[in-house]
Amino acid sequence: MKKTLFAAALGLAVLAPGIASAEETTIRLHYSIPTIWANTQEKLATAFMAANPDIKVVLDGPADSYEDGTQRLLRESVAGRLPDVAYVGLNLWRVLQDRGLAQPLDPFIGDMKAFDEKGYGPAVRLGQYKDQTWALGVSASTLVMYVNPKLVEQAGGSMASFPTDFDGIIKLAHKINALSPTTDGIWIEPHDWRFQSLLGAYGGRPMTDDESNITFDNPAGIAAASLYQRFATEGGMKSYGSSEARQAFPAGTLGIMLESSSLLNRFVEGAGDKFDVTVLPMPVMAPTDKVYFPTGGSGMVMLATDPARQNAVWRYMTFVTSPAGEKIIVENTGYAPTNSILVNDDSYLGSFYAANPQSRPAHQQIARFAGPWYAYPGDEGVAVNDLIGAALVNVAEGANPETTIKTLAETVRTRLGMQ
Amino acid sequence: MRLSRKSRSVLTDIWLVGPATCAMIVLIFIPVIIVALMSFTDYQFGARSFNWVGWQNYIVMLTDPTARHAVTNTLVYAAIVIPASIFLGLIVALGLHHLALKTPRFASGLRAAYFLPVAATLVAMAVVWQMLLHPSLGLLNQLLAAMGQQGPAWLSDRGLVLYTLAVIGIWQSVGYNMVLFLAGLAAIPSDLYDAAELDGAGSGWNRFWTVTWPMLGPTTLFVTVITATGAFRVFETVATLTKGGPAFASDVLVYAMYREGFVYFKAGYSSALTIVFFLLVLLVTALKFGILEKKVHYK
């Protein structure tokens, strides 16, 4: 008896949204990192529902990080209660695509050229794999240089003539490091995305386009890895963990920090009146047509399978990545937009840039050099990221960059089944 | 129908033991069997299908340097934390036990202070440790700098990080061990000490070896088992302070399980690690009860 009651209650609960959908469609939305996104998501949903009264957006409780969020989506898929649309890290949507959870977006996009002309090009390019679109990029971040101008001037440098190549930067970092025992010259995390960014600055790519082979064991990759060693031996890079370094920079003891542009607001708040956090673009060490910087940030995937909901989700996705939606995101999170109209036309973000001049270098770098954040394919794809990080720690601590990177490439090939 | 006395008592036994047994079967044995089965597959978290791969996961575990690293680190960590926290727990308990005879208020204040790390949430405490141990801004290294010493990077130096975590582990379990030892000390009848004195064991050292230590036998066994399983299960400090880094230098078994399963999504391999860990803890516990129990005086 109890069981039948329970089943009936469950049936009603499942049916309830179905009854309501006679007039309106309800879509469930998943997002992560509430510290950055909670307010923005509320605003996006409100603005979207005002423009589309026949669709109701329900926000699921947020996950703490993109990794946590992806785990939760996988668990929900096992339990058969996936949300209809989800925000995921730009390096993680492939996990959902791999498992057949993300729905292909090309049928909805239709004519790609017309779609691109409406400004959606960058969003699409961040979510493509093998010429198919699986995600729309929503917010973008890129590796930039955070500089403490006070320390630069104390070390005899100047912001006006700040070096634009790594040799100059390392020399400056050396001088900052020598100022006192408590100051450090420079820091970058031994981490896959940071390494891919340095690699891109030298014009290299981590993999071939068809993802059948690893290519970071070329001169560009060795140069990128060597930077870790030179930063440590010449530039005074300490073996900080990422949270330690993120405390040291706003505290004013670290001269130059190569970090994600998404941390700008946090650093500005943390530094307060101590110094003016200054953002500079990354050095470009190769011909500009070869250089790219992998884009971090988030994208949306469609998880709904019911056609009516898919249509509602598609309307939501195109709203968020439209100039109106992207404006809300940029103004509230400080992330770079993924709609090209917004980047090129100052009528949308002119006042934002006037108030946040330090956001501009990152947004310009993305507009010029945005590229995909390569996610390594297959079952071991996430695991090899940590192997790359470990190899970079070895290089920073004195291992030969060339042999380390070549051995690493072999290990990664074996782990990914490329040979 | 009336049941015989014997069958009624059997029914009572079943009624008393049954619920707990059922709960154990459903919540422990069945999951362990499922995990054991999963360890022979290549199941990926969230995947629609899987393949049987035989002993493949276990072979990888034996040959993969990362996995070996996790095992060695766990053993080193346990080898430091288990003896140190038992020894310190005993010393503190003996001290407080004697202090309580003279200044009971002060002793109970101290006891609360020692017990605080046990009661506090370790994750919150980890944030405090992180701030204390920051290489340039942390209190510890600022003090060292004031004395003209350059402090090391406690949590991001590869050679040091495991020992730093071990010290935090000791700090955390000394209080708990102390409380258990205090209870053990309180249960020793004072006439045993009088008898020992009559027999010529006058010095404190002699009294300790002839009365206190043997009488604490059961407590020590219990403390050892608790501390050992706790040390092998170390996870929170690793997850919150180092994430197993830098370069796997503080990777331990339970964190590796979590990482393989929930970060890398390799549920099959993670299950294999879990089974090995389960057997390891089972073995240690069985050894301890098998060998030590025979040498402990309970009465």
Tell me whether residue B175 is in a domain: yes
Which chain A residue is nearest to residue B259, measuring alpha carbons?
A383
The strand pair at A336-337 and A136-141 is best described as antiparallel
Binary contact (A241, B156; C-beta < 8 A): yes
Number of domains in chain A: 2
Cβ–Cβ under 8 Å, residues A196 and A372 = no
- Does residue B156 belong to the interface with chain A, where contact is any CB pair within 8 Å? yes
> Which residue among A371, A388, A405 closes a domain?
A371
* CB contact burial A194-227 (16+ within 10 A = b; e otherwise): bbbbbbbbbbbbbbeeebeebebbbebbbbbbbb
**Token digits for A127?**
């979510």
Average pLDDT over residues B62-84: 91
Share of chain B above pLDDT 70, in %: 97
What residue type is assigned to position B146 of the chain?
A: A
Taking an 8 Å cut-off on Cβ atoms, the answer to whether B265 and A240 are in contact is: no
Q: How far apart are CA A172 and CA A155, in angstroms?
A: 7
Query: Do A102 and A148 lie in a common domain?
Result: no
Say whether residue B111 is in contact with chain A using an 8 A CB cutoff: no
Instruction: Give the mean pLDDT of B188-200.
Output: 83
Report the phi/psi class of residue B188: left, alpha or beta, with left for phi > 0 and alpha for psi in -120 to 50. beta
Determine whether the interchain pair A253/B44 forms a contact, defined as Cβ–Cβ distance below 8 Å.
Answer: no
- The answer to whether residues A278 and A394 belong to one domain is yes
Whole-number pLDDT of residue B49: 79
Contacts of A154 (CB under 8 A, 6+ apart): A176, A179
CA separation for the pair B82, B232 (Å, rounded)? 9
Chain B residues with beta carbon closer than 8 angstroms to that of A239: 135, 153, 156-158, 246
Interface touch A244/B47, C-beta < 8 Å: no
CA atoms within 13 A on the CB side of A373: 27
Whether residue B246 is preceded by a cis peptide bond, meaning omega within 30 degrees of 0, is yes
Please report the pLDDT score of residue A73 as a whole number. Answer: 92
β-partners of residue A129 are A132
What domain range includes position A251? 143-293+375-415
Q: What is the mean pLDDT of residues A349-353?
A: 85
- B-chain residues within 8 Å CB-CB of A247? 134, 137
Mean pLDDT of B15-29: 91
* B213: contact with A, CB 8 A cutoff: no
Tell me the range of A8-22, A183-197, A364-378, B104-118 where mean pLDDT is highest.
A183-197
Which tokens in the block code for residue B44?
């990926």
Please check whether residue B46 touches A, CB under 8 A: yes
Residues A226 and A360 in one domain: no
> What pLDDT, on the 0 to 100 scale, is given for residue A13?
46
B136 → chain A, closest CA residue: A182
Which residues of chain A lie closer than 8 angstroms to B260, CB-CB? 383
pLDDT at B221: 86
A147 and A137 assigned to the same domain: no
Any A CB within 8 A of B171 CB? no
B140 has a pLDDT exceeding 70 = yes
Residue of B41, B69, B134, B165 best to disrupt the A interface, most CBs of A under 10 A: B134
> Is residue B40 situated within a structural domain?
no
- Tell me: pLDDT of A82 over 80: yes
Burial of A378 (0-12, 13-18, 19+ CB in 10 A): middle
User: Is the full-model pTM beyond 0.80?
Assistant: yes
Residue A75: list chain B partners with CB under 8 A: 46
Token pair in block for residue A132: 């198919």
Q: Which of A174-178, A211-215, A270-274, A373-377 has the lowest mean pLDDT?
A: A373-377
Give me the helix-helix angle, B267-287 and B217-232, nearest 10°. Answer: 170
Q: Is the confidence at residue A279, as pLDDT, over 80? A: yes
Total Cβ atoms within 10 A of residue B143? 11
- Lowest average pLDDT, out of A7-21, A112-126, A372-386, B220-234, goes to A7-21
- The CA R_g of chain A, rounded to the nearest whole Å, is 23
Confidence of residue A217 (pLDDT cuts 50, 70, 90): very high
Starting at the edge strand that comes first in sequence, how are the strands of the sheet with A278-280 ordered?
A184-188, A254-260, A143-147, A278-280
pLDDT at B295: 67
Tell me the pLDDT band of B68, cut-offs 50, 70 and 90.
confident
Give the one of B134, B259, B262 whose C-beta lies nearest to A247's C-beta: B134
Q: What total number of domains does chain B contain?
A: 1
Are A128 and A232 in a shared domain? no
- Which residues are CB-neighbours of A260 under 8 A, at least 6 positions away? A141, A142, A143, A144, A193, A296
- The CA distance from A387 to the nearest CA of chain B, in Å, is 8
Which A positions 277-316 lie with beta carbon below 8 A of chain B?
none
Q: What is the pLDDT of residue B204?
A: 78
Q: Are A114 and A153 in the same domain?
A: no
Q: Locate all alpha helices (DSSP H) within B49-201, ordered by sequence.
A: 56-63, 65-102, 104-119, 122-132, 139-146, 161-186, 190-198
The band of B1, judged by pLDDT with boundaries at 50, 70 and 90, is: low
Residue A28 — pLDDT band, cuts 50, 70, 90? Answer: very high
Say which range, A314-328, A344-358, B6-20, has the weakest mean pLDDT.
Answer: A344-358
- Scanning A387-406 for CB atoms below 8 A from B yields 387, 389-391, 393-394, 397
Tell me which of A12-21, A76-85, A372-381 is least confident: A12-21
For range A192-217, the mean pLDDT: 91
Percent of residues, chain A, with pLDDT higher than 90:
48
Q: Pick A253's closest partner by Cβ from B45, B137, B248.
A: B137
Is the Cβ of A49 closer than 8 Å to some Cβ of chain B? no
- Contacts A389 to B, Cβ<8 Å: 245, 247
**Nearest CB to A389: which of B157, B158, B247?**
B247
Output the pLDDT for position A3: 47
State the angle between helix axes of A346-355 and A323-333 in degrees (0 to 180), rounded to the nearest 10. Answer: 0
* Residues A238, A324 within the same domain: no
Q: Which residue has the higher pLDDT, A169 or B205?
A: A169
Say if residues B135 and A181 touch (Cβ distance below 8 Å).
no
Three-state SS for A302?
strand
Does A344 have pLDDT greater than 80?
no
Residue A16 clears pLDDT 80, i.e. is over it: no
List, as one string, the DSSP characters of B157-194. Answer: -TTTHHHHHHHHHHHHHHHHHHHHHHHHHHTS-HHHHH
Q: Cβ(A397)–Cβ(A176) under 8 Å? A: no
Tokens of B52: 């049987």
Mean confidence (pLDDT) of chain B: 87
CB contact under 8 A, A238 and B42: no
Same domain, A327 and A246: no
Between CA A211 and CA B153 the distance in angstroms is 38
CA B275, CA B277: separation in Å to the nearest integer? 5
Give the mean pLDDT of chain A: 87
Extract the tokens encoding A39.
Answer: 């307010």
Distances (CA, A) of A292 to A4, A91, A295, A372, B2: 60, 16, 9, 9, 87
Contact state of A95 with B266 under an 8 Å Cβ cutoff: no
Copy the structure tokens of residue A141. Answer: 């971040």
Contact indicator for A66, A33 with CB cutoff of 8 Å:
yes
Residue B138, pLDDT > 90, answer no
The answer, yes or no, to whether residue B266 has pLDDT greater than 90, is no
Which CATH number does the domain housing residue B110 bear? 1.10.3720.10
pLDDT at B80 over 50: yes
Residues of B in contact with A100 (CB under 8 A): 48
B49 interfacial to chain A (CB closer than 8 Å): no
Residues in CB range of B106: below 8 A, 6 or more apart: B99
Q: Confirm or reject contact between B281 and chain A (CB < 8 A).
A: no
> CB-side exposure of B295: number of CA atoms within 13 Å?
8
Q: Is the pLDDT of residue A2 over 50?
A: no
CB-based contact, B157 to chain A, within 8 Å: yes
Give chain A's largest Cα–Cα span.
83
Question: Is A226 in the same domain as A301?
Answer: no
Question: Does B282 have pLDDT greater than 90?
Answer: no
Q: Which residues of B249-287 are buried (b: 16+ CB within 10 A; e: fewer)?
A: bbbbbbbbbbbbbbbbbbbbbbbbbbbbbeeeeeebeee
Cβ–Cβ of A241/B157 closer than 8 Å? no
Is A73 in Cβ contact with B46 (below 8 Å)? Answer: yes
Same domain, A118 and A224: no
CA A136/CA A337 separation, integer angstroms: 12
Question: Residue B156 domain-assigned?
Answer: yes
CATH number of the domain enclosing A161? 3.40.190.10
The confidence score (pLDDT) of residue A115 equals: 86
Question: Using a CB-CB distance cutoff of 8 angstroms, which residues of chain A are in contact with residue B130?
Answer: 243-244
- Give tens-digit pLDDT for A218-256: 999 999 999 999 999 999 898 888 888 988 999 999 999
pLDDT at A261 over 50: yes
A31-45, B38-52, B284-298: segment of lowest average pLDDT: B284-298
User: Is residue A18 domain-shared with residue A124, that is, in the same domain?
Assistant: yes
Give residue B122's domain range: 58-295
In Å, how far are A101, A221, A416, B110, B166 from A408, measured between CA atoms? Answer: 32, 11, 12, 53, 31
Between CA A212 and CA A215, with CA A213 as vertex, the angle to 5 degrees is: 145
My answer on whether A227 and A200 are in the same domain is yes
Task: Render pLDDT for B145-166 as a digit per residue (tens, 0 to 9).
Answer: 888 888 888 888 888 999 999 9
For residue A306, pLDDT over 60 is answered with: yes
Test A67 with B263 for CB contact under 8 angstroms: yes
- pLDDT band at residue B116 using 50, 70 and 90 as cut-offs: confident
